[in-house]
Amino acid sequence: MTAQVDTERPVVIASGDQLKAKRLPTWAPVAVAAAAIVLAAGLVMGTGWGGPVLTGVVAAVLFIVGLGVAGGVVEGRRAGSNRVATTLIYSAFLLALAPLLSVAFVLVTKGFERLDGNFLGTSMKNISAFDANGGAYHAIIGTLEQAGIATLITVPLGIAGAIYIVEYGRGFLANAIRFFVDVMTGIPSIVAGLFILSFWVFVVTPIFNDGRPGYSGFAAALALSVLMLPTVVRSTEEMLRLVPGALREGAYALGIPKWKTIMKIVLPTAGPGIVTGCMLAVARAAGETAPVLLVAGGNPAINFSPFSDNQSSLSLYVFEQAGVASQYAPARAWAAALTLVVIVLTLTVLAKLLARRNKLAR
Amino acid sequence: MAKRIEAHGVTAFYSSFKAIDSINMTIEPKSVTALIGPSGCGKSTFLRSINRMHEVLPGARNEGKLLIDGQNVYDNDVDVTAVRRMIGMVFQRPNPFPTMSIYDNVISGLRLNGVRKKSTLDDAVEKALRGANLWNEVKDRLPRPGAGLSGGQQQRLCIARAIAVEPQVLLMDEPCSALDPISTLKIEDLISELKNRFTIVIVTHNMQQAARVSDRTGFFSIDQTGDPGRLIEYDDTSKIFTNPSEKKTEDYITGRFG
């Protein structure tokens, strides 16, 4: 030991040997909150600066400062900053929740007005925007068919692509595919719609259609596939990478071929995560308006066939109804929006239950 | 039907890094051979070179000849899955398949290689679990998940899974290093029983374990970091632990090195 080392003093972290410390009483946060609200109300309402929203903001700031100061004085600096940090995190959570709850609240209250059997069972055929009745049956069919076909196309393709990237791809080709998948993630939906419009609707379908462009639900499904594919590939890729290498090695060591290891060991292990990723993609596709507008064109009547003639979809229906200057249209738009959310939510819950349903009783 | 293993100049690379250099070694059928040595000396690499698991890692490759009853497993026309079916492996950490029940874990090797008959599979499960000394503990909960067992039971489940495909050689890569002493004892007892059916090669850091379970011991070492691992001495276990011929071996087992 040199003298230089001896002069260095250890940093004092704890003083004394007392383990117990003074704590604020459990009612203190409530008391501080009450005081903050009263003070804020007096300050904002009393002086006439603003309404209840400003009062809430000022009360929140006062609460954080007040609790921090009270904690700091009674419990010490570390405990005081802990109280401030905890409060900030809780407030951030509430702030993030607020838009979600308010959207859900508005959607449910406004959507229920027209959400009835008539709305779910009729189309807009021979009904003008200024009539009170009319429904979204044709749009529900369109959304289910378009999103369904897009899912049938993208899920196998996307999972296969992710398997290639994770399990087989080496070097340049795998990196190139990853890069282009990343680029595809950023494609605006209108561009995907334009691509299918110019390629499928104007070039490919006229060959089979006496030279006339073929707007159809299937074209919309193709455009949605372009949007869904990168999401499916990337989320599946992440999930496959989370499967421990030890499981693959365990299977190889039993003489199980690689493809069977992937099908029977790796994919089932990553299953629930892959399903979540696919449902995110489905939800995004079901909510897209622009590509459907471009390549399916919209149709007020029921069209069961996705391969011929125009089709509508729920999001397109919402877009149309919301843009019409009629006293009845907004109610239809809200009801359709609620229907869309309920459909996506139901599908997501079903898919999750299906993925979690394991033969193993835990 | 245990097999003899002969290594002739077996060398292993990780990309350009040579991990083991020219290992020559003959392992007799129905014997337990322990591989000991300091960390990073290539024991596990050599073990994984026996059933061609080494080459699973990107950039890894082997040179030399490794004969199983005279057949070189490194030949181009060798079916890797057939090699691995003949040479089973148990890993350092228990790795039961998490989506499978105990039953499915044990027969995974058989079922995924095409065996479908229920009675055959049922028999194989009981035989393998009895062979791994796990039958009495799990016979009433075969449909439960394999990952729900304790660590020691999971490792014996993995041993059962490995012996269910009826291999002729069983490689064990530090099978007890993640286990408590009681589970370790159970697995050591199991090794002495399995010796009657299989050729066993076990990598271990625990020299008492090597002395307890093995007939022959190979000591691996490296001169310094970055050098390839070499087989320093390979002899009867009793000789290695009482009267080794190499100074390095003696230093290692007496604790003066490593």
Could you say which of B58, B81, B165 has the minimum Cβ distance to residue A257?
B81
Look up tokens 């603003």; give the residue. Answer: A50
Q: How far is B244 from chain A (nearest CA, A)?
A: 34
Query: Distance between CA atoms of A344 and A282, rounded to whole angstroms?
Result: 8
Average pLDDT of chain A, as a whole number: 86
Cβ–Cβ contacts within 10 Å for residue B255, how many?
8
pLDDT tens sequence across A143-170: 999 999 999 999 999 999 999 999 998 8
**Helix, strand and coil in chain B, % to nearest 5:** 40, 25, 35
Beta-sheet pairing, B5-14 with B32-36: unpaired
Pairing of strands B87-90, B169-173: parallel
Q: Is the dihedral of CA A334, A335, A336, A342 positive or negative?
A: positive
Tokens of B246: 């190499």
Closest Cα partner for B199 from B177, B167, B174?
A: B167
Nearest-CA distance A160 → chain B (Å): 20
Letter for the amino acid at A129? A
Using DSSP bridges, classify how beta strands B17-27 and B5-14 pair: parallel, antiparallel or unpaired: antiparallel
Q: Which amino acid is at A345?
A: L
Tracing tokens 């077996």 back to the chain, one arrives at: B10
pLDDT tens, position by position, A25-71: 888 888 888 998 888 888 888 887 778 888 888 898 999 999 888 88
pLDDT in tens, chain B (258 residues): 578 888 888 999 998 888 888 889 999 888 999 999 888 888 899 999 998 999 888 888 888 889 888 889 888 888 988 899 899 999 988 999 998 999 999 999 888 888 888 888 999 999 889 888 888 888 899 888 888 888 888 988 998 999 898 888 999 998 888 778 888 888 888 888 888 888 999 999 888 888 889 999 999 988 877 788 888 889 899 888 888 888 888 888 887 664
* A290, pLDDT greater than 60: yes
Please, what is the end-to-end C-alpha distance for chain A in angstroms? 59
Here the ipTM equals: 0.89
pTM reported for the whole predicted model: 0.81
The answer to whether A19 touches A30, Cβ cutoff 8 Å, is no
- As a whole number of angstroms, the distance between CA B204 and CA A158 comes to 43
Q: How many residues make up chain A in this entry?
A: 362
Please compute Rg for chain A using Cα positions: 29
Query: What gap in Å lies between CA A244 and CA B147, rounded to an integer?
Result: 14
For residue B125, the one-letter residue type is V
Name A122's bridge partners: none
Name every chain A residue with its beta carbon within 8 A of the beta carbon of B56.
248-249, 252
Cβ of B144 and A360 within 8 Å?
yes
Task: State the pLDDT at residue A357.
Answer: 60
Best residue in B102, B112, B158 for a mutation probing chain A (most A CBs within 10 Å) = B112
Residues of A within 8 A of B88 (CB-CB) are: 253-254
Q: What's the full length of chain B, in residues?
A: 258
Give me the residue from B82, B143, B148 closest to A255, CB to CB.
Answer: B82
Q: Residue A361 pLDDT > 50, yes or no?
A: no
Q: Does domain B5-96+171-253 have CATH number 3.40.50.300?
A: yes
**Does the beta-carbon distance from A253 to B82 stay under 8 Å?**
no
Domain boundaries, chain B: 5-96+171-253
Instruction: List for chain A the helix, strand, coil content (%; round to 5).
Output: 70, 0, 25
Q: Quick check: A355 pLDDT over 80?
A: no
Please name each of the domains of chain A with its CATH number.
23-106 (no CATH), 118-356 (1.10.3720.10)
Q: Which residues pair with B229 in a beta bridge?
A: B20
- Which chain A residue's Cα is nearest to B172? A253
Tens-digit pLDDT profile for residues A228-252? 999 999 999 999 999 998 999 999 9
Cα distance between residue B237 and residue B218, in whole Å: 8
B84 to chain A: closest CA residue: A255
Contacts of A81 (CB under 8 A, 6+ apart): A68, A72
Q: Which of A166, A239, A252, A360 to mutate to test the interface with B (most CBs of B within 10 A)?
A: A360
